[in-house]
Amino acid sequence: MEMDILIRRYYKVVITISAIFFVIIIFLYLYNFSDIMLINKPKDLVAKERIAMTAATETAHSYSMKYFDDFLAIPYTDNNHIVYILSDNMDLSYLATNIASYGYLTILVDISEIEDFTDFFKTHVKTLSTAFSSTDTIYQDFLLDKGDISKVSIIGIGDSGRCAYELSLSPLDSSLVNVVSTLVVAPNLQNISSKVPSTPVGIVLSQYDGVVKSLNGQSIFDNHMLKNSDIIHPISCIYLMGSNHSYFDASYAADDAFNIDSVVDPPNGVEIERLSDESQQDFLSKYAVDFLNYYHHGQIETNIGLDIEDISPSSLYGYDVLSSLIIPDSLAIVTPTDYFSTKYNNLGGEIYMSNASISYMVENYMAPYDTAIGFLHPGIFNDISLLNISWRVDSGLFVTEIPKSYADFTEYKALSMWISANPYNVAQNETQPFIVTLKDSSGKVEHILLDEDILALKVPTGVLVTNSYQIQWSTFTPLSNIRIPLDLFTKVNLENIESISFNFNQTDQGSIILGDIRLL
């Protein structure tokens, strides 16, 4: 009798333990392999903590200002890195003095009367180099030991931005000067060369630029990414929301904002956020210093979108931005070229949809060739090939398979998507959050949530404008990057990735425009 009781007790214990073990096994399986988001919960896409600071960001430097044929802001320290700021009848002294306060010898040059900037720059650099060791120049003894000609960057705004960019395409002999980086702000470009820049290039665009109305600088980024050109340095682009062209000039208070009349006028009037001249100059002062510090000194305190191991920022210094980045040796997975891009990716992997649709379209400034209805990308271009993905239920799915020969993601640092909400199918200010999923060859899956705080998934403030030629959004709806650092994926085997999926389960319906998916 007692033996029977013991057996029954033992049996119950075994059953209980087995049940618990079974539940744990099921839970672990679902945790690693399931698409059930309540169990295999998506991770949030958040910026990494940044504690690294450079000497340039830690220390405020005293400086003096001198006027010769140009304006110089000279730190009291020696052997300073050098920054040329090119101006075309603009007051950029606020920018020059701020950069100098971070330890850069800053030279502000008005190029409005210069016919051949490359020739001028070559001559100026030679004079500058001499002035660091001799008093036999116009600079007398003010520049003795003050600069390091091997560490030079160039900043240009508007028309002078064109000069700065063209210099990066035709660099001077490195024995004369070594240009570390080039920053162009609202550059006024007439055409875009296919040449590869010899330096890292940063681009800043103003949302409502009324001088460079087509935001030509965007094409620098687009041309090199879409053509998969063999760039040797990063190219980045920041789209500053609410800004115009003239407010970067401290001496010009007129508002040249473009593309806002149809937004603010009745009967379709809506409120738009604008930056003041003080705000635009504050942004540029801070961004320029961080940009320079990144390329001259390494790591910086602020994520300004240049580190591929961090997310693309939607805000900088409290100002809304869209950001994009392309680097050498990236791997294009989806870059649309024609109708077959709806069926196969660049690597030969299949694309398939569930409860969602995909279509090929072309963005073109000429109405007869423009099939991207409502969409308005900035820049100079003939056409940009795009994919339009739409869903009408909260179970839409886009999947692109990765062939085995490309399954190893470990040599890359980030998954990047060049993307925009579709203004034709999505209400203004409505976001299009969704979930990105990686699946490995063992069947494990891991999810990252792209939430409503990501500005790239939001239609800019505006209205749909219809005329006899085209249907377009009243303001630009630029493509920009959403970047997911691959070290966020800790469950899947990054050496054997089988597919990338977009799960459209955050909204009942929506639409996005996709220009590119790649590994950085």
219-261 residue pLDDT tens: 999 988 887 778 999 999 999 999 999 999 999 778 888 877 6
d(Cα 150, Cα 159) in Å, to the nearest integer? 26
Instruction: Please tell me the predicted confidence (pLDDT) of residue 56.
Output: 41
Region for 264 from its dihedrals, namely left if φ exceeds 0, alpha if ψ lies in -120 to 50, beta otherwise: alpha
Do 186 and 209 touch, CB atoms closer than 8 A?
yes
Q: Closest by alpha carbon to 110, among 85, 87, 84? A: 87
Instruction: Please tell me the predicted confidence (pLDDT) of residue 469.
Output: 74
Instruction: Please tell me the predicted confidence (pLDDT) of residue 348.
Output: 97
Strand partners, 493: none
Do 387 and 479 touch, CB atoms closer than 8 A?
no
Q: What distance separates the 2 farthest-apart alpha carbons in the chain?
A: 114
Q: Closest by alpha carbon to 354, among 33, 30, 35? A: 35
Low-confidence ranges of the chain (pLDDT < 50): 51-58
Work out whether strand 434-440 and strand 414-421 pair parallel, antiparallel, or are unpaired: unpaired
Instruction: Please tell me the predicted confidence (pLDDT) of residue 39.
Output: 67
DSSP string covering 168-187: HHSPPPTTT--EEEEEEES-
The two three-digit tokens of residue 379, written as one number: 């820049």
Instruction: Please tell me the predicted confidence (pLDDT) of residue 34.
Output: 58
Instruction: Please tell me the predicted confidence (pLDDT) of residue 398.
Output: 98
Instruction: Please tell me the predicted confidence (pLDDT) of residue 1.
Output: 57
